[in-house]
Amino acid sequence: MSLEAFNHSEPLTLGVELELQLVNTHDYDLAPYAEDMLRLMKRTPLPGSVVPEMTNSMIEISTGICHSSSEVLGQLSQIRDALVRSADKLNIAVVGGGTHPFQQWHERRIYDKPRF
């Protein structure tokens, strides 16, 4: 199997990708609001992207191609501010971290999107 062709890119660039969980604000359990959050986020022009992640209680944010850490910080700040505004409208919170401490895997629903 041959490898895909490598596209030329600018040297010394960086970007950040974060997977975030959506939780209820009353008990902090995972909340299946990815679709609602994405719908609200589309209304705000942002650098980078906000897309669904594996389950319907997760989203992924990423910066665009950046040339400095300050550019990354600026883009992430804009995305964070929009996330907080959207989450407030849905009465949910956005949290980072690894595995949710009391998730039940059989209760999670996989977000319906093409993968790899």
Q: How many residues does the chain have?
A: 116
> What pLDDT score does 106 carry?
64
**Does residue 88 or residue 116 have the better pLDDT?**
88
- Per residue in 63-85, pLDDT (tens digit) is 999 999 999 999 999 999 999 99
CA 98/CA 44 separation, integer angstroms: 27
- pTM, two decimal places: 0.78
> What pLDDT score does 114 carry?
72
CA 50/CA 39 separation, integer angstroms: 10
> What pLDDT score does 107 carry?
67
Instruction: Please say whether the beta carbons of 62 and 48 come within 8 A.
Output: yes
* Both structure tokens of 12: 């010394």
Angle at which helix 69-90 crosses helix 34-41, to 10 degrees, equals: 120
- Per residue in 1-35, pLDDT (tens digit) is 678 887 887 889 999 999 999 999 999 999 999 99
Confidence of residue 61 (pLDDT cuts 50, 70, 90): very high
> What pLDDT score does 36 carry?
97
Which residues on neighbouring strands pair with residue 89, listed in sequence order?
none
